[in-house]
Amino acid sequence: MYVSWVCTYVIIRGGGIYQRDDFYTICDELGLMVWQEFMFAVSLYPRDGQFLLNVQEEVKYQVRRLGHHPSIVLWSGNNENQDIATQHGTIYIVDYSVLYDGTVRPALLEE
């Protein structure tokens, strides 16, 4: 489908799903760049320990699964969540920071 388009990259949005492995293999073969978001979008998320542990494991799993694909040129923590957090006040900025700066980013860098 993307082959007939004139584009150089696609965005796998945080509001969708992680694509199957063959999608990334095809992107590798075609030289199509992928902006990969983790599956968080336009929402507020909890910051309790169990949820953050689950997020950390998800990030590590997806980076291990997909990180060898040269087509993935950018990992993004989420889709538009910073806007949602800033619209709802200070406590949500703290929640945002705990989730993305304190959990997603370190897990990504660890892998």
**Other beta carbons less than 10 A from residue 94's beta carbon:** 13
Which residues are known to be catalytic?
80
CA dihedral over 79, 83, 88, 89, signed as positive or negative: positive
Beta strand extents in 25-68 (DSSP E only) = 33-37
Pairwise CA distance, residues 70 & 62, whole Å: 15
